[in-house]
A and B are shown apart, each in its own frame.
Chain A
Amino acid sequence: MSERPAGGERRRGSLTVVGTGIDAVSQLTPAARGTIEGADEVFYLLADPVAARRIEALKPTATSLDHLYGPTKERRETYAELVETIAAAALRGARVCAVFYGHPGVFARSGHEAIERVRAAGLPARMLPAVSALDCLIADLGLDPATSGLQTYEATYFFVRRPPVDPHAILVLLQVGMLGERGGAATESVAPRFRLLLDRLVEQYGADRQAVLYEASPYPGAAPAVDRFALGGGGARSPSVMATLCVPGERWHPVDPEARRALELNGR
């Protein structure tokens, strides 16, 4: 799985998957930047034009993968093509860098699969961590998962598969703006589906429970979008494509006296 360049030296391909963070201006790490600049081939999939300009400034030959998406094209097909495009370049012998927005491995499956594909061919592949939308949410909303726990799901998965909900823990549902969508773009059906999701949450939390529709800012100095509303109050706007729904946790879990005794925490 290597190619012999004109000089006769055999080259081994490799893959590094990096993220820009949500704000590519101030959150791109030095390690990610160095990888982009040093790669033979750079592929990117980003959510805003400033991030794309930044990557192309660092690597003028970088190639966007956005053309693999289509409004009605099944995203599963797109994801398979993303993996194939990225992995094939490494298998041809190139040092490849794949750049995704946010954290490249959080709610982003293609990077993981491309790494698996390249490693299966005996070539080195790794992922560098980055700032995710969840990290931004925690910072902007002042929440700490350590207080009472954190549950996070992809919105369609949550709605269809009904995982158990812990009302004490923070609940974060990503991709609510693409609820039920299989294609590359949101349709008008998302708004009524989102109301169904809210109805479901009202059953679990009650109508008065406060929730937040949140969208991290991809630009330094610009405020995030934060809309607070009661789940059953009818005041929720329709979510944008990049919106995240958060139901903050409420009160701590009750203490199990036997467990407390087992850890000898009594009297402390």
Chain B
Amino acid sequence: MTAVAPEPRLSDFYLRLADDPSLLEQYERDPEAALAAAGMTDAQIDAVLDGSDAVRSVLEAELAGEPGLRRLVTEPRMMTMGPPEDEDEDEPDDEPDDDDDS
């Protein structure tokens, strides 16, 4: 009985790119070839060629199956919001004060 090699993780490949400028250059020039050379599956390669939404789906699926990594899959969070919609700090106060006798 032959052991089946686990499917390589796309997120592992991305981490390799982060630390290997020559691999990143090769990937930027020809992503399909670089992914294939790294042993990525056709589905993973197709996702990258399809765009970022498809990549995210693949990443979420692969990390959801890893107990130590699934906590990293979170909703994108906003980091700012405007001032409260019911406040207008700069509104000039044209009303005279009640105790203003002048």
- Whether A156 sits at the interface, judged by CB under 8 Å, is yes
Do residues B31 and A75 form an inter-chain contact, with CB atoms below 8 A?
A: no
Do residues A225 and B60 form an inter-chain contact, with CB atoms below 8 A?
A: no
Do residues A110 and B24 form an inter-chain contact, with CB atoms below 8 A?
A: no
Main secondary structure of the interface of B (DSSP, over half): helix
- Whether B5 sits at the interface, judged by CB under 8 Å, is no
Do residues B73 and A49 form an inter-chain contact, with CB atoms below 8 A?
A: yes
- Whether A196 sits at the interface, judged by CB under 8 Å, is no
**B102 / chain A contacts, CB cutoff of 8 Å:** none
> Interface 1/0s, chain A 46-73, versus B by CB < 8 A?
0111101110110000001010010000
Known: A76-B81, A223-B51. A28 touches B76 (CB 8 A): no
- Whether A126 sits at the interface, judged by CB under 8 Å, is no
**Contact partner, A184, options B28, B50, B75, B85, Cβ 8 Å:** B75
CB distance from A164 to the nearest CB of B (A): 15
- The interface centre, meaning the residue of A26, A161, A185, A221 with most chain B CB atoms within 10 A of its CB, is A221
**Contact partner, B48, options A161, A218, A221, Cβ 8 Å:** A221
**B55 / chain A contacts, CB cutoff of 8 Å:** 217, 219, 222
Do residues B79 and A108 form an inter-chain contact, with CB atoms below 8 A?
A: yes
Q: How far is the CA of A57 from the CA of B16 in the complex (A)?
A: 11
**A64 / chain B contacts, CB cutoff of 8 Å:** 71-72, 74
Q: How far is the CA of A220 from the CA of B31 in the complex (A)?
A: 9
Q: How far is the CA of A69 from the CA of B96 in the complex (A)?
A: 43
- The interface centre, meaning the residue of A54, A156, A219, A241 with most chain B CB atoms within 10 A of its CB, is A219
**Contact partner, B77, options A47, A161, A225, Cβ 8 Å:** A47
- Whether A194 sits at the interface, judged by CB under 8 Å, is no
Q: How far is the CA of A52 from the CA of B18 in the complex (A)?
A: 13
Q: Which partner residue on chain B sits nearest A186 by CB separation?
A: B75
- Whether A100 sits at the interface, judged by CB under 8 Å, is yes
Q: Bin chain B's interface residue count.
A: 35 or more
Q: Which partner residue on chain B sits nearest A53 by CB separation?
A: B11
Do residues B75 and A219 form an inter-chain contact, with CB atoms below 8 A?
A: no
Q: Which partner residue on chain A sits nearest B76 by CB separation?
A: A47
Q: How far is the CA of A26 from the CA of B27 in the complex (A)?
A: 11
Do residues B52 and A218 form an inter-chain contact, with CB atoms below 8 A?
A: yes
Q: How far is the CA of A110 from the CA of B78 in the complex (A)?
A: 11
> Interface 1/0s, chain A 204-228, versus B by CB < 8 A?
0000000000011111111111000
Known: A25-B17, A26-B18, A221-B48. A49 touches B27 (CB 8 A): no
Do residues B53 and A75 form an inter-chain contact, with CB atoms below 8 A?
A: no
Do residues B52 and A241 form an inter-chain contact, with CB atoms below 8 A?
A: no
Q: How far is the CA of A218 from the CA of B10 in the complex (A)?
A: 14
Interface residue ranges of A185-210 to B (CB < 8 Å): 185
Do residues A222 and B75 form an inter-chain contact, with CB atoms below 8 A?
A: no
**Contact partner, B80, options A69, A109, A160, A223, Cβ 8 Å:** A109
> Interface 1/0s, chain B 1-23, versus A by CB < 8 A?
00000000001001101100000
Q: How far is the CA of A187 from the CA of B48 in the complex (A)?
A: 28
Q: How far is the CA of A24 from the CA of B59 in the complex (A)?
A: 15
Do residues B59 and A49 form an inter-chain contact, with CB atoms below 8 A?
A: yes
- Whether A92 sits at the interface, judged by CB under 8 Å, is no
| A-B CB contact pairs (8 Å), 13 listed | A45-B77, A50-B14, A76-B81, A110-B79, A154-B80, A154-B81, A157-B83, A218-B56, A220-B28, A222-B48, A223-B52, A224-B51, A241-B78
